[in-house]
């Protein structure tokens, strides 16, 4: 018994060892027979010296191994074919084999080998000038580079692939490039480009899927129409056959009645002749009558049976058609659900874009500090807006603008993002280079026009886009009681002593135009107590509505402003919004709405006296990667005359701190990409423990405060900052 048990254990061990080997990568018998056949054919062609057919059979063997996941064998036979194709200088075949080997290596996650094979394949595609072949190789190479985390190289390859996709005019290929560019930029931490290419991907994807859905809907409608026609025809045939059956029944009834009548006549005749003749005739009549009735019954039965079978076939055909219609209905409903899901995904993306666009607008608390009495009526037509408002404080002046970009929705929102970024850059450049430019309203618009033309590559050709911006821009100087205004199409309304005065904008946009070489006009205006100014886009006055279904018109708009201009600014906003909604009624909103009203009498208040904090002998390092947040901090610190240096990430902050021992305090953003503010603070505290580090974030998270203290931060500030509290906090560490 013990011996049997030992033999059983040995057999089980051998089974465990050799069973997986017997199961590993076995081929189906039919596939193996095909491979052996191709090998025999390849050997025969080799003996004949026909290297072309020999290579073709090697390719067939390689594809069969590839399809059955025997990847090493597939690479072996592709390599044999590659050698023969090189001997025959078959460049197209060489290119294809390199691509296939690259794809197999990618399947095996040997991405470096995949990249090398794709690169060699692309060289042959370039020699052949195959745009589609070059695109395919570039896309595959970029995918392998992405898996190797070589995202910069992948972006370079994808930009070239995008140019070929655009030359081929293939939106599907373009969409693929946009999606892969967005993924690689996201991996690089470049959120701006990631968002840009994601939005481009979503736009192209929406267009392609809309066309697909449209095609499916048209095909489904045609199939339903055909099915309904066939159903109607079947019902018509069934009705006709039912009518014929009814006529046959009537004929049989008439025949039966006729037979009874003949029997009565024979009976009368029988009474007039002899008994024998009567009996004989009577017998014959009975026999004939029975035969006739039998024939009629048979005929009627056959007819009824045929009608029944025809009706049965018609009902079956009708049932089959109903099943087909039901299947088509289910398919249409699936496509509808898919379209609704895609619409929801796109809407979610646009909602996210709205949050980004809203974040770019100046915070109302920031505007209220400089302009205590104001209102902003802002009603985008769609989720995102082509209208935007903008404000900045520079050289003790308040610069504010109301802009209307070409279009609305997503295209207009893209232009608004460009406009906001360009205005920030232009005003900062003018202030920092006073020997080059002065801070004038028309000069800001002149430079904005140059930025738009250059960035959109506008040349004035008839077939190019004419995208641009209509804008009203003001520079308010509270100290000198002066106001500058420059406008592109949009005017400035000023109400003083119950009189409305109009300062017209130039009749040209901020974009390419036949007058693009001419400067915008700069209006200089003295301002007085109780002056009220209004700047706006054209959406309010162009809204269709009212009892006559017409535009609101600028005349009605002026009368409304004169009527309400003395009321509090928040009340004015409520009246304007209510008037707009009542005028619009059940009509759709045609355009984005933007109206800004400002009362100038208290615009010259300063929250903090300039001489309260004098830090002219101090230096602050601001570690902040977001441009808008950095500009707000610079503006808040302007009255202190402090020296400012900036780092845009944690690594740069550490390097600058090492190079600048005169730094007295660090404002540290905790949410920087790469090395965040916590890690950066720990490294800086290792260099100099007593340097004050104040953490700053827009997230009011309790554990963020705790972690800031844990890594050595001396204080914690929430954004948006409150100016007095912000300066008082910094003063605690700088006053010594």
pLDDT of residue 725: 86
Q: Look at 61-75, 393-407, 478-492 and tell me which has the smallest mean pLDDT.
A: 393-407
Fold of the domain built from segment(s) 377-602: Phosphatase 2c; domain 1 (3.60.40)
CA distance 555 to 502: 12
Output the CA torsion sign for 65, 66, 68, 71: positive
| pLDDT at 58 > cutoff 90 | yes
Consecutive H or E run containing 413: helix 409-432
pLDDT of residue 603: 41
For residue 554, CA distances in Å to 338, 388, 403, 540, 637 come to 45, 20, 18, 9, 42
In angstroms, how far is CA 448 from the centroid of its own chain? 28
3-state secondary structure of 272: coil
Mean pLDDT confidence for 395-409:
85
Query: Based on the number of CB atoms within 10 Å of its own CB, is 311 exposed (0-12), middle (13-18) or buried (19 or more)?
Result: middle
User: Token pair for residue 10?
Assistant: 């040995």
pLDDT of residue 288: 76
Question: In 3D, which of 362, 401, 409, 361 has the Cα closest to residue 385?
Answer: 409
For residue 718, CA distances in Å to 345, 565, 583, 669, 714 come to 33, 37, 42, 10, 14
Q: What is the pTM of this model?
A: 0.43
Q: What percent of the chain has pLDDT over 90?
A: 51
Homologous superfamily assigned to 619-734: Response regulator (3.40.50.2300)
Q: Look at 318-322, 403-407, 415-419, 732-736 and tell me which has the smallest mean pLDDT.
A: 318-322
Work out the angle at residue 196's Cα, subtended by the Cα atoms of residues 403 and 413, and round it to the nearest 5 degrees.
Answer: 20
pLDDT of residue 157: 95
Summary mean pLDDT of the chain: 84
Mean pLDDT confidence for 626-647:
88
Structural domain boundaries in the chain: 41-212, 223-357, 377-602, 619-734
Q: What is the pLDDT of residues 141-152, one digit of tens each?
A: 999 999 999 999
Task: Determine the CATH number of domain 41-212.
Answer: 1.25.40.10
Alpha-carbon dihedral 48, 50, 51, 53, rounded to 10 degrees:
-120
CA distance 515 to 509: 9
User: Token pair for residue 703?
Assistant: 């554990």
* Strands 593-599 and 715-718, sheet pairing: unpaired
| pLDDT at 272 > cutoff 70 | no
CA distance 65 to 628: 58
Q: Look at 328-332, 366-370, 601-605, 672-676 and tell me which has the smallest mean pLDDT.
A: 601-605
Mean pLDDT confidence for 575-587:
95
Please indicate whether residue 135 or residue 699 has the higher confidence score (pLDDT): 135
pLDDT of residue 16: 41
| Rg from Cα positions in the chain | 43
Q: What is the pLDDT of residues 114-143, one digit of tens each?
A: 999 999 999 999 999 999 999 999 999 999
CA distance 134 to 128: 9
Q: What is the pLDDT of residues 517-551, one digit of tens each?
A: 899 999 999 999 889 999 999 999 999 999 989 99
Question: In 3D, which of 683, 603, 149, 61 has the Cα closest to residue 372?
Answer: 603
Q: What percent of the chain has pLDDT over 70?
A: 84
- Cβ proximity of 439 and 394 under 8 Å: yes
3-state secondary structure of 537: coil
């Amino acid at each position: 018994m013990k011996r049997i048990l030992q033999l059983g254990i040995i057999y089980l061990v051998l089974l465990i060892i050799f069973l997986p080997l017997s199961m590993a990568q076995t081929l189906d018998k039919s596939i193996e027979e095909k491979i052996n056949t191709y090998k025999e054919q390849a050997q025969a062609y080799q003996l004949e010296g026909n290297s072309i057919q020999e290579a073709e059979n090697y390719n067939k063997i390689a594809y069969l191994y590839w399809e059955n996941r025997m990847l090493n064998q597939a690479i072996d036979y592709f390599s044999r074919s590659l050698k023969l194709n090189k001997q025959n200088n078959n460049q197209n075949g060489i290119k294809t084999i390199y691509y296939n080997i690259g794809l197999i290596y990618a399947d095996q996650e040997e991405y470096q080998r995949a990249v090398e094979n794709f690169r060699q394949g692309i060289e042959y595609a370039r020699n052949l000038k195959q745009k589609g072949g070059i695109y395919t190789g570039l896309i595959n190479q970029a995918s392998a580079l992405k898996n190797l985390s070589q995202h910069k190289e992948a972006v370079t390859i994808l930009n070239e692939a995008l140019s070929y996709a655009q030359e081929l005019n293939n939106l599907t290929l373009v969409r693929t490039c946009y999606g892969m560019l967005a993924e690689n930029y996201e991996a690089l931490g470049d959120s701006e480009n990631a968002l840009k290419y994601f939005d481009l991907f979503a736009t192209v994807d929406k267009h392609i899927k809309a066309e697909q859905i449209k095609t499916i809907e048209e095909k489904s409608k045609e199939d339903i129409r055909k099915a309904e026609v066939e159903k109607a025809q079947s019902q018509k045939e069934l009705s006709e056959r039912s009518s014929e059956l009814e006529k046959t029944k009537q004929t049989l009834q008439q025949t039966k009645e006729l037979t009874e009548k003949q029997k009565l006549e024979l009976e009368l005749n029988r009474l007039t002749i002899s008994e024998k003749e009567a009996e004989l005739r009577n017998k014959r009549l009975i026999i004939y009558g029975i035969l006739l009735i039998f024939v009629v019954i048979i005929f009627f039965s056959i007819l009824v049976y045929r009608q029944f079978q025809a009706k049965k076939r018609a009902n079956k055909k009708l049932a089959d058609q109903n099943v087909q219609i039901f299947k088509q209905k289910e398919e249409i409903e699936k496509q509808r659900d898919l379209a609704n899901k895609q619409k929801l995904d796109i809407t979610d993306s646009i909602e996210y874009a709205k949050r980004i666009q809203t974040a770019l607008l100046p915070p109302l608390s920031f505007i209220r500090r400089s302009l205590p009495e104001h209102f902003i009526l802002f009603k985008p037509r769609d989720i995102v807006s082509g209208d935007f408002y903008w404000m900045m404080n520079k050289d003790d002046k308040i610069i504010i603008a109301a802009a209307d970009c070409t279009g609305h929705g997503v295209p207009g929102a893209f232009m608004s993002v460009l406009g906001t970024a360009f205005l920030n850059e232009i005003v900062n450049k003018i202030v920092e280079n006073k020997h080059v430019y002065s801070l004038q309203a028309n000069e800001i618009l002149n430079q904005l026009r140059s930025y738009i033309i250059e960035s959109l590559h506008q040349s004035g050709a008839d077939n190019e886009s004419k995208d641009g911006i209509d804008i009203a821009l003001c520079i308010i100087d509270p100290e000198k009681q002066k106001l500058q205004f420059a406008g592109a199409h949009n005017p400035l309304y000023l109400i003083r002593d119950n009189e409305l005065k109009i300062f017209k904008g130039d009749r040209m946009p901020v974009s390419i135009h036949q007058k693009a070489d001419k400067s915008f006009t700069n209006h200089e205006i003295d301002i007085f107590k109780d002056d009220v100014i209004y700047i706006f886009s054209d959406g309010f006055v162009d809204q269709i509505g009212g009892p006559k279904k017409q535009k609101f018109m600028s005349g009605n708009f002026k009368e409304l402003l004169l009527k309400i201009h003395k009321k509090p600014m928040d009340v004015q906003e409520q009246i304007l919004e209510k008037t707009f909604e009542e005028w619009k009624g059940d009509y759709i909103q045609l355009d984005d709405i933007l109206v800004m009203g400002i009362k100038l009498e208290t615009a010259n208040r300063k929250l903090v006296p300039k001489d309260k904090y004098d830090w002219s002998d101090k230096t602050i390092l601001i570690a902040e990667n977001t441009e808008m947040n950095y500009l707000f901090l610079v503006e808040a610190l302007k009255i202190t005359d402090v020296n400012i240096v900036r780092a845009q990430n944690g690594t740069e902050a550490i390097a600058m701190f090492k190079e600048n021992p005169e730094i007295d305090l660090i404002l540290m953003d905790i949410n920087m990409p790469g090395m965040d503010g916590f890690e950066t603070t720990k490294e800086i505290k290792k260099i100099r423990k007593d340097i004050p580090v104040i953490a700053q974030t827009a997230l009011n998270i309790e554990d963020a405060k705790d972690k800031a203290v844990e890594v050595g931060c001396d204080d914690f500030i929430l954004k948006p900052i409150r100016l007095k509290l912000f300066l008082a906090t910094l003063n605690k560490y700088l006053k010594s």
